[in-house]
Amino acid sequence: MAETITTRSEDETVAFARRFALRLQPGTVVLLCGDLGAGKTTFVRGLALGLGLDPEAVSSPTFTLIQEYRGPRSLFHVDLYRLQGAEVEDLGLEELAAGNAIVAIEWAEKLREIPAGAIEVRFEDRGEDVRNITVDLGP
């Protein structure tokens, strides 16, 4: 079942992700797919806000690969942009998903295997801060 919404600013994207985060159960994996600059990291800021974390602490983990934000409901923020093939598999993402934190994975298109129960969120940049965000909860 998929649902698409359109946001017209970063603030709207953050607000949508904040509401979305309230529905997530511990251990949920959120797969973020979309082009560079499509709003994936902005969405993670909203997730952080919804999980009771500081959204200002969220930055793209492109060079560190995995950022951990601890709080009442913790969040792992993963960025696969610079990785290829076996490098992705070597990260041990299944261990992150086995815990109680929410796991948000940018550039999830690079995963060879989709974690069971993962939620896919696709971003389409429509220009001038307009984004189509499609949430697919699976079958």
Q: What is the pLDDT along the chain (139 residues), one digit of tens a residue?
A: 889 999 999 999 999 999 999 999 999 999 999 998 899 999 999 999 999 998 888 877 666 688 888 988 899 998 887 656 655 565 555 666 657 889 999 988 888 888 888 999 999 999 988 999 999 976 6
Q: Per the structure block, which two tokens stand in for 65? A: 């690969």
Please state, as a whole number, how many other Cβ atoms lie within 10 Å of the Cβ of residue 120: 18
Phi-psi domain of 85 (left: phi exceeds 0; alpha: psi -120 through 50; beta: other): left
Task: Give CATH superfamily name and number for 2-136.
Answer: P-loop containing nucleotide triphosphate hydrolases (3.40.50.300)
What's the pLDDT score for residue 10?
94
What's the pLDDT score for residue 98?
57
